[in-house]
């Protein structure tokens, strides 16, 4: 025989934007929130933040403002994207960075050759 008792359980109701304070809930009935989260877990080698964990939640507007402010290019990777696609993207970015670095080195060599 099973015996039951009533319990009160806390569930996540909504996520509030830590920047503007608005709710990120977009569907009251389903309780769906759309938000971004910045998460940082600082370790022993950090500069004064040893052991601290930070969680910052953004509504879409504040998230987009932050991206513009930080001039971060968003890499849009869908959950369904395969590992191969991600690997191809990272290789392409790596090649671009290497190419840029080689150009900088070449310019430096030309400048040194003139002097
Ligand atoms: Zn906000």
For the stretch 74-108, pLDDT in tens is: 776 665 566 677 677 777 777 777 777 777 788 77
If one counts the domains in the chain, the total is 2
Q: How far is the CA of 12 from the centre of ligand 1 (A)?
A: 18
pLDDT band at 48, cuts 50/70/90? very high
pTM as predicted: 0.56
* Boundary-marking domain end, from 74, 89, 106: 74
Span from the CA of 68 to the centroid of ligand 1 (angstroms): 14
Tell me, yes or no, whether 5 lies in a domain.
Answer: no
Answer whether residue 108 is part of any domain. Answer: yes
Is residue 39 included in any domain, yes or no? yes
C-alpha to C-alpha distance for 82 and 67, rounded to whole angstroms: 25
Distance 31 CA to ligand 1 centre (A): 18
Kindly give the distance from the C-alpha atom of residue 104 to the centroid of ligand 1, in angstroms, as a whole number.
Answer: 40
Q: How many A from CA of 10 to the centre of ligand 1?
A: 24
How far is it, in rounded angstroms, from Cα 97 to Cα 90? 10
Name residue, tokens 């430096």.
108
- 29: domain range? 10-74
And the tokens for 51? 């052991």
pLDDT at 29: 85
Query: What's the CA-to-centroid distance between 70 and ligand 1, angstroms?
Result: 16
């Amino acid at each position: 025989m099973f015996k039951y008792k009533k319990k009160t359980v806390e569930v996540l109701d909504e996520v509030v934007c830590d920047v503007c304070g608005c709710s990120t809930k977009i569907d009251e009935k389903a309780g769906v929130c759309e938000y971004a989260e910045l998460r940082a877990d600082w370790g022993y080698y950090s500069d004064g933040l040893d052991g601290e964990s930070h969680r910052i939640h953004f509504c879409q507007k504040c998230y987009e403002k932050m991206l513009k402010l930080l001039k971060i290019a968003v890499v849009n990777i869908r959950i369904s994207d395969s590992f191969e696609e991600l690997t191809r993207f990272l290789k392409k970015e790596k090649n671009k960075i290497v190419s840029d670095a080689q150009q900088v080195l070449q310019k430096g060599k030309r400048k040194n050759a003139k002097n």
